A and B are shown apart, each in its own frame.
Chain A
Amino acid sequence: MPAPTRRTDQAASRLLLATLVAGLCAGCVTSRVEGVKNATTGIEDHESVVVIATSYHKGNRTGTDFLQCMDDELDDGAQAVNVYPREKFLDDLFPWLEPRTMPQEIKDLPELLSRPGVSERINASGVRYLVWIDGSTKKTSDGGGMSCAASPAGGGCFGLVWWEDDGTYTARVWDLKASSAAGKVSTHVHGSSMVPALILPLPFIARTETAACKELAGELREFIVQEDLS
């Protein structure tokens, strides 16, 4: 029965080739970062930033993992800035920064700051920049298939699954000291992932959300630390 064997060999070769070609692109992330600065910034040693997600009542789905990643990245590296603990800030100012009550636009900031006790607590915290994060990572397409089998003699998987993610995030920066909008930074990240399997599955997973966080935090650090408008 030579013909079926050859067809099987050809199929396996094609899958291997497809895997290698796709592997070059899979697990890859491409990104774009943009920023708009409206005012000079800068931060003193005793000042800090706090990162808060915009309201889920308005449809925002930024996850807590992303916010934590932003905190860690901002507080890291050569241009590290002090990051104030988000939960403590929200608790200290409860109920004024809750999803239902938080200010939506910079014109709402004076009203927030005029509420009894709010300015005092913000001053005591040392928070100068309030960073509003809006965005999420979504799977945009997927496909392929994989089947696995096991027997007393052994087992394995055969096939290929792939998917693509898009992460789009915006960070709006409010300067609480100047009571103004300093500007915004946004990022768009595209990730391609695949898991080919020839007996053993080999995952090439794109860490789209992590890449978006690192890109956004890096740009945001520069935005805050570099005082000029450029």
Chain B
Amino acid sequence: MSPGRLVAATLCLLFATACSQSLTVPDRVPEPLVETLPLRAGLLYTPAFADYRHTETAEGKPAWDIGLGAAHVGLFDRLGKRLFRDTAHISTLPGAENPANFDVIIEPAIDAFEISLPDQSTSDQYAVWIRYTLRVYGPQGELIAAWKLSGYGEAGKSTLKPASSMEQATVLAMRDAAATISIEFAGQPGIDELLREKSDASTDEKN
């Protein structure tokens, strides 16, 4: 390493909060302890979702570059595995002419990723909001539900490790959203009807 780079790296370490911060959020949200729904689900991850990155630059503030896509693919894979009877990835939305062999197609999207830094609030906390839309389609690609939900996480300030605090707040926001999905998915308008129909059909079959 050249002396110039060494000096720059040292200054960055000393004044970490003033330097650009880059991180990839780890895939750390566990599988939920919930009952499996009697549905087979196709998981549709668009490139915009699977490769989602948040970059933020403001004059006089450190820049942020946060990779979220891979962790979210892992999160929805794990949610799907527990929440549904059977899951598989699909790459395109089916249509009436080529219906899919699933009860539902789940297409998650990140609508917004917002952060608040300790110097922007009075709380000394890193705060993260993630806003999602979860679109649920039927086997022929018909929209059953478009559920808007959000996750919120916060973590205390760590003077020399701002990326670590941001990572912790982001993982907590993802857990928050995953908790909401795990518990409230079955009760969403459209999904509840589908589950009732499934339950009625199952009862008829038994009779």
Interface residues of A (CB under 8 A from B): 56-57, 61, 63-65, 91-96, 98-101, 115-118, 121
Contacts and interface: CB of A to CB of B under 8 A. Distances in A.
A95 B154 contact: no
B180 A100 contact: yes
In terms of DSSP, what is the predominant structure of the interface of chain A?
A: loop
* Chain B residues touching A, range: 20 to 34
Contacts, number: 48
Interface of B: 29-35, 123, 125, 152, 154-156, 168, 172, 175-176, 178-180, 182-183
Nearest to A95: B179
Given A95-B178, A98-B175, A64 B31 contact: no
A61 B175 contact: no
Nearest to B157: A63
A63 B157 CA distance: 9
A100 B177 CA distance: 9
Nearest to B32: A95
A117 B33 contact: yes
20 contacts: A56-B154, A61-B123, A61-B125, A64-B156, A92-B33, A94-B30, A94-B33, A94-B179, A95-B32, A95-B34, A95-B182, A98-B175, A98-B179, A99-B172, A99-B176, A115-B33, A116-B35, A117-B33, A118-B33, A121-B33
The 4 closest A-B CB pairs, nearest first, are A95-B179, A91-B30, A98-B179, A63-B156
Given A101-B179, A101-B183, A96 B33 contact: yes
